[in-house]
Structure 1
């Protein structure tokens, strides 16, 4: 498959990455939970590995310098054809660029930014590394959702920067918007009002597919993580929100057939 065929449409979530203090124990946790194996690189990002499932790269995990005390969280990367232009658009539309644009070796060019509500996300301009090439299999990221206070203003930000079309759920008590590209849903925005965690603020949530959400939640606990929201049936399937041993929060989903 050529790079042209696998290159993601700009705005599509194309990669998820996690920066932690303990790289080796974190690898052990996710290997036991998802069956991931790991390969090194790119070296320009410091100690960094790519998680591999059945030969396909599905996520990245890096090690923070000892003196960096950043929140431990999965970061969603959105595809771009021009990281520098995206960085300018982010600034112009009220976001903040925290890192970059910078080259990650020959893999690509990246930006890490935050939207006007403070949710951190990345933008990835692919070169040798196009990002995720598998979707739907257990152990792979299958959805990304922005959890924020309310969707209207921040929705305009993402629409302006990445060109999404929005489809809102028309409901007085449910603030939910699906983001579409070329008529296809690629991500969502969920406004939760005062239910937004005070210690976490607005954030992007990564959903990983599992074969059994209840068993996976138990496995997380056995491996030293903890369950934040117990398994429950949702519109997308059976879901549970969990945290790894360093506190990175993510959601496990057994997608509805």
Structure 2
């Protein structure tokens, strides 16, 4: 099992889908996932790459969020993190809840409406693989209230903040020491008003263009890209149920590294 992640580090991702079997077919074919037995109640089904847990899919429950991905940030004490979320102006959607022996979860929203999870591990430590094809790679807070996000997440999780100096892009990095753990992007007018703020989860692929072609052939919609940046070639899509996600190939890079300015 993996070691417990540092507080504030992305440690797990799951998604809610009305058509669970359709979602399993889509992501299974696109990312090479296999699926194990359900965990706990409600058909919570883990996805694996080479036998290592990388995500989970589940059907919606009463009052749950619409189809989409939820990113969980690690915490050694979910109750304490929930208290900090309240104190920083966030909203608790699900109070700290013990999930059997697996751990304790919280669902919350930042002051700008970005939903995310908190995970205090028990026997379930989180991602067993990262950055390999089919596994989690990176995530960004997509928000229409960037100033509120840049105050909220560092207050709750102790992040440092670096801002990109490009006037044309409002982007910041949240880090823990020297390690960037999360990005934050302002949602511009290019995003239709009906698209809510969200956590954009990136999955690793060998070939971004080929993966985009496969995804769109199975009913996904390409929203942006593919585009090559210093960190890789990526594309943003929505899956057949309308859930946003991104793909990135870290082996294809280009362009100059962005200049970042330390803010806090």
TM-score when scaled to structure 1? 0.92
5+ residue gaps, structure 2 = 254-264
**CA-to-aligned-CA distance 1:113-155 (integer Å, 9 cap, x gap):** 0000000000000000010132211111100101112433211
In 1, Cα distance between equivalents of 2:63 and 2:222: 26
1:43 and 2:40 matched? yes
In 1, Cα distance between equivalents of 2:239 and 2:199: 16
Alignment of 1:9-48 (within 5 A): 9-44=6-41, 46-48=42-44
Q: In the alignment, is the contact (CA less than 8 A) between 1:150 and 1:190 conserved in 2?
A: no
In 2, Cα distance between equivalents of 1:179 and 1:69: 28
1:182 and 2:174 matched? no
Picking from 52, 62, 73, the partner of 2:58 is 62
In the other structure, the counterpart of 1:160 is 155
In 2, Cα distance between equivalents of 1:169 and 1:228: 23
In 2, Cα distance between equivalents of 1:92 and 1:138: 38
Picking from 81, 85, 94, the partner of 2:89 is 94
- 2:189 is paired with a residue whose SS is helix
Q: In the alignment, is the contact (CA less than 8 A) between 1:150 and 1:175 conserved in 2?
A: no
Offset, 1:99: 1.0
In 2, Cα distance between equivalents of 1:172 and 1:224: 35
Q: In the alignment, is the contact (CA less than 8 A) between 2:33 and 2:49 conserved in 1?
A: yes
- 1:152 is paired with a residue whose SS is helix
- 2:125 is paired with a residue whose SS is coil
**CA-to-aligned-CA distance 1:64-91 (integer Å, 9 cap, x gap):** 14x6573211111100011111111111
TM-score when scaled to structure 2? 0.90
CA RMSD of aligned residues (A): 1.7
- 1:128 is paired with a residue whose SS is coil
- In the alignment of these two chains, the number of paired residues is 252
In 2, Cα distance between equivalents of 1:88 and 1:16: 22
More helix by share: 1
Cα 1:182–1:116 change in 2 (3 A) is same
Cα 1:226–1:173 change in 2 (3 A) is closer
Cα 1:162–1:69 change in 2 (3 A) is closer
In 1, Cα distance between equivalents of 2:212 and 2:192: 21
Q: In the alignment, is the contact (CA less than 8 A) between 1:23 and 1:63 conserved in 2?
A: yes
In the other structure, the counterpart of 2:142 is 147
Picking from 42, 52, 56, the partner of 2:48 is 52
Offset, 1:198: 1.3
Q: In the alignment, is the contact (CA less than 8 A) between 1:227 and 1:240 conserved in 2?
A: yes
Offset, 1:221: 1.6
